[in-house]
Amino acid sequence: MRFNMYHPLFWCGMLFLACMLNAQSSFSLKDCIEYAKTHHSTLKTGEYDIAIAQKRVNEQIGSGLPQITASGSLDDNLKKATQLMPAAMFGGPSGSYVEMESGTRYSMSAGVSLNQNIINPSFWIGLESARISKKLSEQRFQQSYEQVVYGIGLAYYQSMILQKQVRILQATLDASNASLRAAELRFANGMAKQTDIDRLRISFNNARSQMEQTAMNYEQSLNSLKFNLGMPVDSALILADTLLPTSFADTSVDTSVAMAVESRSDYRLQETNLFLSKLDRKKLFASTLPVLTGYVNLRYNAANEEFNLIDKDQKWYESSAIGLQLSMPLFSGLQTFQRIAQLRLTMIKAEETLKQTEQSIKVNVSNYLVQYKTTLAQITNESDNYELAKRVYADTRLEFEQGVSSTYNLVQAESSLREAQNNYFNKLLNFYIARIGLEQAKGTLVSFFLTKER
């Protein structure tokens, strides 16, 4: 038999090699979740969004602090302004005017101004809005984190199931191969027919094909897990958990819908968005209120016909002022009123969406609970069938070796065993998907993975 990469011995060798790698390459489910925290691109960008939101909070705080501005100017009056002065001021006839140039050719000024909001209702609402926006970024990060954990959990347990299935299929394949070799030996001694050999070879080939397909699915599942971790696909990844957790088959599942609604990140996100809409409406109301600002101005001016303004003998003239400025919008063509009305309608829409989300969560939890209980009953039934198929195959194989059972019965028993194995592992995967989906629907998936004993 020609060796190739699809030969079952190749995949067994791969599994053996994986088990011999150092312990640092093995990951438990908790290790996978911790690894994803620092390596998954979605979580990295979520942390950046939180940092950006904090900078916006700091920016809003800065707008309430004193605003200090320095300014300066230098003018070269190439053509001085001309003014008409009454000639009588200079002894001329009354009613006539004299043309006179005013100012100097060069002038320079420098000053500092300070402005401080004293009363500005919009500032405090804007600050609260910025802080809530940061909270929104944190909630979005949590939602992304839960989605990443969900993907990791599915891929991890799928890989575990497939790994276990590969090992069991290999044992079945070895047994099938042994039966085939025994039949070939009988045929060589004239104690078996060619038909018997052909039947066993067909059964062996079918078992090998199933083994190769399952091994390929296992490798693909590991790649999917690496992707969900943010791990390079060419990295070595060994599953530290080898036993499937029994805590999944917990008949006393907490299905409190009220707790599920409050625990769901998407529901909390919608609540926060609704609160932000209320703050936007308050901010619009605040924009119609008076704003009182205090200011301090200090300025120095110098002028000369020659460009020697920076000489130490140049005289500078100081001016300063301190005061208050009050501003209040009186009429904006009803634009503010219309914007407030729009926000009111937006809030009503958000409240309706929140109610719909609450009902959707309740339905979601209920459906997953039904699916979980159904798959729990199915996996119990398929487990019993699998044990029966193993016993029937073992007895039939023993009878075949003793010469009291036909090749047909052995092939049928092996086929039934592989079918029972396939059904069992498919139902097992569906069971884990249902339990993980139930915890996600309740909003408790992360705590379920991290706090449950595995």
* Residue 251 pLDDT greater than 70, yes or no: no
| Position with higher pLDDT, 105 vs 292 | 292
Residues in the chain: 454
Please indicate, yes or no, if residue 20 is contained in any of the structural domains. Answer: yes
Taking the C-alpha atoms of residue 454 and residue 451, their distance in angstroms, rounded to an integer, is 9
Given a contact cutoff of 8 angstroms between Cβ atoms, the answer to whether 238 and 26 are in contact is: yes
Answer whether residue 91 is part of any domain. yes
Asked if 315 and 388 sit in the same domain, the reply is: no
Asked if the structure places residue 2 within a domain, the reply is: no
Q: Which domain holds residue 107?
A: 67-119+291-327
Q: How many domains does the chain have?
A: 2
**pLDDT (0 to 100) of residue 380:** 86
Tokens 């069992």 label which residue? 424
pLDDT at site 355: 92
CATH number for position 266: 1.20.1600.10
Does residue 193 share a domain with residue 96? no
Evaluate whether residue 1 is within a structural domain: no
**Taking residues 66-74, what's their average pLDDT?**
93
State how far the Cα of 38 lies from the Cα of 52, in Å rounded to an integer: 18
| Mean predicted confidence (pLDDT) in 60-80 | 90
Question: With 70 as the cut, is the pLDDT of residue 250 above it?
Answer: no
Statement to judge: residues 21 and 148 lie in one domain:
yes
Of 307, 327, 347, at which residue does a domain stop?
327
In which band, very low, low, confident or very high, does the pLDDT at 436 lie, cut at 50, 70 and 90?
very high
Q: Is 300 in a helix, a strand, or coil?
A: strand
Confidence of residue 179 (pLDDT cuts 50, 70, 90): confident
Q: Is there a domain that residue 108 lies in?
A: yes
